[in-house]
Amino acid sequence: TRVVEPPTADAPSRIITIYERGFPLGFRGSAEIPGTTDGVAYVYNHHRLVLKYHTDAAFDGARIVGFEVEPFSVKHAYAGAWPAAADTPGGKTPPLTTCSAAQPVSHDAAPQPVADAGEVVWSYDVQWEYSDVKWASRWDVYLYATDEQIHWFSMVNSLMIVLFLSGMVALIMARTLRRDLSRYNDAADAKEDAAEESGWKLVHGDVFRPPAHFGLLAVYVGTGAQVFGMTFVTMTFALLGFLSPANRGGLMTAMLLLYVFMGMAAGYIAARLYKMWRGTNWKGNTLKTATMYPGIVGLVFFVLNLFIWGQKSSGAVPFGTLFALLLLWFGISVPLVFAGSYFGYKRGVIEQPTRTNQIPRVIPEQPWYMSATFCTLVGGILPFGAVFIELFFILSSIWLHQ
């Protein structure tokens, strides 16, 4: 959107470009805007559509790489009376003396106030401008920020949360280790206390004990490694310029293919962990790794797509594309997960640095603030705060044009 910046004592009036979704409907007059009355609302009733094009030796012709809207508020004038037929479809409007090829609309014209009674004439014109922006860089306009203060606040907020969490964890670890080391040094001088274990030594025989649902944990770790590998390779290719915005849908296609081929890593890591915990049903665990996460995401996607189908929208994914995704899943991803699981089980068992006790240590009754529910809620406050701030700015930029 092109808007007029009012003149100041040091600089004259100038036109600035703001990149946002949509454009304002009007403005409120003030003493700084010439020709307006303070407190009176004015409507933008003329819009100049600026279409930007770019020519390239490798392409025959010109391609549109962007467009801008420059709103004007003009109190239009015309000769004679406004005919009633002009308001009907196909009706001919009288020529405007304030908007013509010989006299284009400018910001110096008298603005159109918003009153309870009266008429408002709407008009537009089209202007073509050559742009140096190349076809492959036409989407870079979305990277231009209108308010840098939001981004600075978001980065400072995330940085402070990370520093606070790191400092708190480091402080707790330092105090605990210092207290345990002091107790061990004092116990070394007294032989009667040397045989008694305390502090970190109390749990060294239970640290590597298999959890209650170690099969699901192995599936989650393997799936996480698959998603992480897909994200890392995709971001690397995007930074190197292999995934250009000029290729529409290239990013999504690359992510799907990388996720499919990363199935071998998921199967390998899940099998290594499952074997470390002495699991026996390796086929069932591998099948869960290959189907659990894609099955949940695919089911949610299919249900949402049904609603889009019901509305007869063109944005619905066609049946052929869904069938191709199923072929990628069961034809490539699942076999790769089983292949990775095979190689993972062929490897030796991961040796643990300490021996696990045969009898689990009895955990004493904990206070209420050490319960799993309370620790989960309190432990998620700070990460939620960081994510909430980020989502607030993202949603504000999308829905509130900020």
This prediction has a pTM of 0.59
CA distance 390 to 373: 26
Q: What is the pLDDT of residue 83?
A: 74
55 phi/psi in degrees, rounded to 5: -110, 145
H/E stretch holding 181: helix 148-189
pLDDT of the chain along its 402 residues, tens only?
676 666 666 666 677 777 776 788 888 888 878 788 888 899 999 999 999 999 988 888 899 998 889 899 998 888 777 777 666 666 677 888 888 888 888 888 888 898 766 788 889 999 999 999 888 788 777 666 555 555 666 677 777 877 887 888 888 888 877 877 777 666 555 555 545 555 666 777 788 888 889 999 999 999 999 999 999 999 998 888 787 666 667 888 899 999 999 999 999 999 999 999 888 888 999 999 999 999 999 999 999 999 988 888 877 888 899 999 999 999 999 999 999 999 999 998 888 877 888 888 887 888 888 888 888 888 888 778 777 777 777 677 666 654
Q: What is the pLDDT of residue 199?
A: 60
- Which amino acid would we find at residue 66? G
Q: What is the pLDDT of residue 350?
A: 87
Residue 60, CA distances (Å) to 51, 54, 56, 57, 128 in order: 19, 11, 8, 7, 18
Q: If you count them, how many residues does the chain have? A: 402
Do the Cβ atoms of 177 and 171 come closer than 8 Å?
Answer: no
- Which amino acid would we find at residue 313? S
CA distance 223 to 163: 29
Do the Cβ atoms of 338 and 267 come closer than 8 Å?
Answer: yes
Which residues, including other chains, have CB under 8 Å from residue 384's CB and lie 6 or more apart?
A: none
H/E stretch holding 344: helix 334-346
CA distance 258 to 210: 31
Q: What is the pLDDT of residue 188?
A: 55
CA distance 49 to 61: 21
- Ranges of H-type helices in 241-318: 250-261, 263-276, 282-310
Which residues, including other chains, have CB under 8 Å from residue 211's CB and lie 6 or more apart?
A: 217, 277
- Which amino acid would we find at residue 62? A
CA distance 205 to 355: 6
CA distance 39 to 136: 45
